[in-house]
Every structure is written in C-alpha cells, then in structure tokens.
Amino acid sequence: MKLPVSLLCAAAAALSFGVHAQTAKPDLARGAAQFGQVCVACHAADGNSTTPANPKLAQQHPEYLIKQLQEYKSGKRQNAIMAGFASSLSDEDMRNIAYWLASQKATPGFAQDKDLVRLGERIYRGGISDRQIAACAGCHSPNGAGIPAQYPRLAGQHAEYTVDQMRQFRDGVRKNSVQMSQIAAHMTEQEIKAVADYIAGLR
C-alpha cells in the first residue's frame, strides 16, 4: 500500500527535526550570558523571580520557553515588554536561554489561604464536571511538573502571575492556547484564585 506523498513528507520532516534536535546541543554558557544581559532584571539571576508579577522560569521545559519567546516575537502572544526583548533574539539565542533556564533549580512556593487552597486542590485534581472543566493535573501532572514539550511546569509559580494569565485567557487577551482559553472562560474569579494558590504550593 502506497502512503500519500503529504504523509511521507510530514514523516520525513518529523524525522529530520528529531535528528536535528538530538544533534544540535544548546550552548548553556552563552544562554546564561544572554539571560544575564536581557532577562535578569525581571526574572532574577537564576530564573527564580522574586517579583510576583513576573513568572519563575527556572526548571521550565525548554520547548515551552522557546515556544513562548517565538510567540512574543511573532505577536501571537502579546506583551509589549517581552515583545521588545524577544525581537532581539535569534532562534539559537532562544534555545540557549531556554535550555540554560531548564538546568536551573526552581525554588519552592507557598499557598497562602487554607480555605481557598482546598477548593484549588479539588479543581486541580478533579476538575469541575458540571462545566466540563478538565482537571489541571491531567495536563500539568499531579505535582505540577508538567509534560515536557507539551504542557508547562506550574509547581511553585507565583499565584499572582497565574491569576493574571488565567484572566488573560478568560478575557481573550492571551490567545496562544485554545485549551486554556476554553477552561478559563468557564471559571469564576474565586476558582481561578483558588487554583493559583494551590499551584503556588505544589512541589
């Protein structure tokens, strides 16, 4: 049986990308240097931002970081500050920075509200069935480690940052994840804050 040409081309491209990804080693020293020049003011020297409005990036999956930088650069994800920084980075620069950040150890975070965090845990682990909201753990794993190359690490992330991103997904401001937009659209403000607080304490 002959396979369609389009399928063969797609398979060849995937194989080529896989081989390239395995052989092209990121330059971690260069990534560290570039991070120190461009990113350190907002995200701290080791990627563990101490400012709640700015995300922790340490130990994040490099594929996810590269995707976000590329989308800031293209305008698919909109943020005036990040667009300015990303526009100056080549694909190689992004790769070097992302893999260096992935090599850094994330610092733990903490939940703040005992009552709120109980609600957050229920949603994170079990979703909200009557509104077809899937459990966060299904994509981001029970401990918030995420799934490399698919879903980001969330454990220990600043609750304030997570709340802001969920609001952006809900309100249609952030448009680079259909799944997250659909989920956030059906969540109340209290539910968003509860999940964010629970995520902050994951480790």
pLDDT at 25: 92
CA–CA distance from 168 to each of 105, 110, 162, 192 (Å)?
28, 23, 10, 11
Task: Identify any residues that bridge with 128 across adjacent strands, giving them in sequence order.
Answer: 133
Residues above pLDDT 70, as percent of the chain:
89
pLDDT at 189 over 80: yes
Do 88 and 124 belong to one domain? no
**Chosen domain end from 51, 81, 102:** 102
Question: Average pLDDT, stretch 53-60?
Answer: 98
Q: Report helix, strand or coil for 133.
A: strand
Do 80 and 57 belong to one domain? yes
A 10 A CB-CB count for 157 gives 24
User: For helices 62-74 and 91-102, what crossing angle results, to 10°?
Assistant: 140
Do 148 and 176 belong to one domain? yes
Lowest mean pLDDT among 4-8, 50-54, 136-140: 4-8
Do 153 and 175 belong to one domain? yes
CB burial of residue 163 (10 Å; 0-12, 13-18, 19+): buried
**Chosen domain end from 50, 68, 102:** 102
pLDDT in tens, 11-36: 444 443 443 444 579 999 999 999 99
Do 49 and 91 belong to one domain? yes
Backbone angles phi, psi at 195, to 5 degrees: -65, -40
Q: Which residue has the higher pLDDT, 7 or 146?
A: 146
pLDDT at 4: 45
CATH number of residue 39's parent domain: 1.10.760.10
Do 96 and 128 belong to one domain? no
**Chosen domain end from 68, 102, 136:** 102
pLDDT in tens, 79-121: 999 999 999 999 999 999 999 999 999 999 999 999 999 999 9
Do 133 and 85 belong to one domain? no
Residue 11 falls inside a structural domain: no
Residues 6+ apart with CB under 8 A from 67: none
Question: Average pLDDT, stretch 143-155?
Answer: 96
Question: Average pLDDT, stretch 162-167?
Answer: 98
- Whole-number Å distance between alpha carbons of 51 and 91: 27
Do 77 and 119 belong to one domain? no
- The CB-side HSE value for 28 (13 A sphere, CA atoms) comes to 8
Residue 122 falls inside a structural domain: yes
Per the structure, the count of domains in the chain is 2
In whole numbers, what is the pLDDT of the chain averaged over residues?
Answer: 90
Tell me the helices (H) and strands (E) count for the chain, helix number first. 11, 0
72: containing domain: 26-102
Residue 15 falls inside a structural domain: no
pLDDT at 70: 98
Do 95 and 136 belong to one domain? no
